[in-house]
Structure 1
């Protein structure tokens, strides 16, 4: 529902007109009602006087049975156009004489009713017909009845004229009232409207130096004086506020510059931390690979020595002519086993070096490329095998599609998994005595890759559960923990890969990290 908003001037004018109209209506109503009763009573009294006079003139012809005299008396009423019918009845209720200019034929019951208005018409100000009945008496004897019907149109005409005059003068008064109310409202509200206009101007321009003036010493003058005082206070407050805002703005700008500098330094420190973590992971990788390669290379050297030794024996026996079939078969079997072990050891070393080469290059360059996610995670675990087999840990990697390809930075993936593996070794499997397992499940969810990394270690301590992704949060500070691993993982996933990371953990049951990253890296900037 729309609310109509009126100005004070309009409200004052409307209020004044309503009040005046109400007063005029009440006065007019009572005056007109009084006029109606007055005209009606006057008409009735005059009619009764006329009826009594006519009764006096009509009784004599009735006594002497002078019908012509009675009709002559009644015919003199033709000058009064309000008389509709006059009938003289004898005591037997028979018509003795009558005056009926309108030729009315309705029957009349001459029962005695002094007078009444037969209001058959309900029109405005129409009183119907006045009916008067008077006994015809002489010296106390009743000789008959005089019946008169008289029209009340003359009252209706007079009252309608009075009503029209009242309406006319009421309209004139309302017009005059409207004009007077306009002038009066302008006179009374002019100072207030001026004050309102000035306030609107100040609100738009914010110029508190403006002042208002009024010569009157009444309440309006006091209002103007108080308003000017308020403007002076506002001007002072505005100047003080502007000075404070300027001062605070300068302070905030300085703090903002300081924060920007600190943020820049923090980002640089974070990048340095990530690079340091990369180098540390790369150093661990080199150490692990060196240790891991040492065993197959040792086997290869041993196998080659055996092959050389057995070959020399065969050549010597062959030269001396002492080579027997059984000896040759035995030495050939040794040569075959040794060569198989040599090939196997060299192949394993080659795979280790290949994985090391790919992962080390990825961690240094962070280039975006397309690769098989499952195979790459397997290579990451292979390069960490030296540390995992000391516990030992069973690795289970499942993928709903073995050929699933992902386009992102393999170096970031390697850094994430290296930190998660390190976290499992240091925290999850510390002093672990049961069958240690790490499960990795890779699934597709629309355009995202979901990787669930889970170990069945000790779980996360309740004291740090709510803040494990914050930097420097660790329970193994005295055992080589820095508290930066999971913080680096969190930042790499959110900032570098534009993914998400959540976790679930139950003490002494398991810890699960849920990683979601885009299947295709869609950002142009280099990671």
Structure 2
């Protein structure tokens, strides 16, 4: 309500604008007229006084030459007829150029005034002050300056005339403003009354929502167009409301019939959601089982390789021991038959030493393989932390992968401080490095005879272990690189690839090791994995 009270109405705005314009125009015109008339009045009285002074000066010239001031003052007494003249002085200029008082006129009842010779230059031009006008004019005789005439005239008639003129102008101005106000009020009714009627209809429609009302036609073209447009709008709104009411009725009828359908479909949807949740849970279990199978598959593959690798030294040891048994049996027979020769005993000792060396070397080799495999197997099946040297862990990993690595000619270069000893979970690190190396062997070095793997390991100041794994293989396509850690992403679909290797790596690093892994690769330029995870540094064991 406060905003509505402060807002100007069209009626008051129209009256204000018209009256302001009219007032300004009348004030300007009245001011200009008054200024012109007053200026004219002043010019007229100055002209009269100046003319009078010149006439008196011309008539006084002969008397100034004769130095007859008595006749002059008698002649000046005739100025009683000029009521506006208050005082008049005539000054005579002597031969030495000095001015002397010659004659004067003072209006009856007017006190004499002192000589004005000291104001000669000041009053050479007419000067108005209060109710008087003063002027000094020169007196010439045959082009010789013989004196001056000083006239002091009353401006009461001028002031009275100016006051009358101002009163008339103000009266005319007030009458014109009153007429303008009357015309404005008359004109604004023809404009504002139709608008006010239209506003009333709009307010009624907005408040009562009665769209049956219609605005009346107006004699003004613009307002008539507005009224017609407003009526059309009300007609369309009324039609729209009618159509909406019909649609709502139809919606209510449909809603009644749809409630049963919604109820039945809601029941079906709940059952479907329940089945979906069960299926999703089974899918998660299946995925976890597949990931676990992937871990066990790599361990089983390692078992087969290590078993095959251990079989060779053990077989050689068995052969050497069998040979020793045969030689020992023969030596026993010769000894029992008392046919043992020194040469035979020396030969037995020599062959025995050779066979024992063979047995020792092969059994020691088998023991190393079994020890490395045992440690790797224990690490892979355990996520407990332990203290280890990183180079030793990598040696155990590479030893366990020897059956795979000896079949290829790829180089694996480890760049790591030999004294770097940390406390962390060896199992996840073991599994991560095996999966990355196998990923390079299977995918990166496909159709490549001699590849290279570089593993750079460093410990940051914040106890963050950084592993940069790089190979110079064929790289990863850009579209696959963006989702390389997603499950079931593989380029060996249908060729034995499950697509879970790098997904398992990502889970081990982010969950088991609380770290991060990033990949960068360009097709044909190899691949680089950057792994970071927190560790606890230890002194060298």
TM range (shorter): 0.5 to 0.7
Q: Distance in 2 between matches of 1:188 and 1:368?
A: 92
The 1:260–1:42 alpha-carbon spacing in structure 2 relative to 1, beyond 3 Å, is farther
Q: Which residue of 2 aligns with 1:381?
A: 398
The equivalent of 1:425 in structure 2 is 441
1:148 and 2:160 are equivalent in the alignment: no
Counterpart position of 2:38? 39
Tell me the equivalent position of 1:515: 530
Structure 1 residue 35, shift from structure 2 partner: 0.9
The reply to whether residue 340 of structure 1 matches residue 360 of structure 2 is yes
Match of 1:28 in 2: 27
Give the aligned partner of residue 74 of structure 2.
Answer: 69
Give the drift of 1:284: 1.5
Of 221-230 and 386-395, the range deviating more from structure 2: 221-230
Q: CA deviation at 1:28?
A: 0.9
Residue of structure 2 in register with 1:442 after alignment: 457
Contact 2:411–2:453 under 8 Å retained in 1: yes
In 1, the alpha carbon distance for the partners of 2:165 and 2:425 equals 102
Q: Name the SS for the 1:275 alignment partner.
A: helix
> Could you tell me the TM-score, scaled by structure 2's length?
0.61
- Quick check: 128-137 or 510-519, which moved more? 128-137
In 2, Cα distance between equivalents of 1:498 and 1:196: 70
CA pair 315-135 structure 1, distance change in 2 beyond 3 A: same
Please give the alpha-carbon distance, in whole angstroms, between the structure 2 residues aligned to 1:160 and 1:263.
108
Superimposed CA distance per residue, residues 36-74 of structure 1 (whole angstroms, 9 cap, x where no aligned partner): 221232344356557767888998888775244256556
Matches within 5 A, 1:477-516: 477=493, 479-486=495-502, 488-489=504-505, 497=514, 499-505=516-522, 507=524, 511-516=526-531
**344, 351, 361: which is aligned to 2:381?**
361
Secondary structure of the 1:101 match is: coil
One of 86, 100, 103 as aligned partner of 1:97 = 103
Q: Deviations over 1:59-90 (max 9, x none)?
A: 8888775244256556898x86xx68533468
Deviation, 1:386, is 1.1
Residues 127 and 421 of structure 1, relative CA distance in 2, 3 Å threshold: farther
Cα separation, partners in 2 of 1:486 and 1:69, compared to 1, 3 Å: same
Q: Which SS does the other structure have where 2:530 is aligned?
A: strand
- Which of 412, 423, 441 lines up with 1:395 in the alignment? 412
- Counterpart of 1:106 in 2: which secondary structure? helix
Match of 2:381, SS state, is helix
Q: Does 1:352 align with 2:351?
A: no
More moved, 15-24 vs 187-196: 187-196
Shift of 1:334: 3.8
> 1: distance between equivalents of 2:468 and 2:297?
25
Larger radius of gyration: 2
Q: How does 1:88-127 map to 2 (within 5 A)?
A: 88=90, 96-99=102-105, 101=113, 104-108=116-120, 117-118=126-127
**CA distance in structure 1 between the aligned counterparts of 2:448 and 2:340, rounded to whole angstroms:** 59
Gaps of 5+ in 1: 1-6, 138-142, 203-207, 522-527
1:330 maps to 350
How far the C-alpha of 1:500 sits from its partner, in A, is 3.1
> Per the alignment, in what secondary structure is the counterpart of residue 391 of structure 1?
coil
Q: Secondary structure at the match of 2:526?
A: strand
Aligned to 1:524: none
State how many pairs are aligned. 470
Q: What secondary structure, in the 3-state scheme, does the structure 1 residue paired with 2:34 have? A: helix
Question: Counterpart of 2:88?
Answer: 86
Inter-CA distance 425–160: structure 2 relative to 1 (3 Å threshold): farther
Asked if the contact 1:440/1:452 (under 8 Å) is kept, the reply is: yes
Q: CA separation in 2, counterparts of 1:376 and 1:465?
A: 29
CA distance in 2, matches of 1:301, 1:408: 39
Structure 2: gaps (5+ residues) = 1-5, 106-111, 537-541
Q: Distance in 1 between matches of 2:15 and 2:286?
A: 79
CA distance in 2, matches of 1:400, 1:387: 26
Change (3 A) 1:347 1:232: farther
Is contact 1:87–1:147 with CA below 8 Å preserved after alignment? yes
Query: SS of the counterpart of 2:437?
Result: helix
| Residue equivalent to 1:271 | 288
Matched, 1:452 2:454: no
| Residues 74 and 86 in structure 1, CA contact (< 8 A), matched pair in contact too | no
Q: TM-score, normalised by structure 1?
A: 0.63
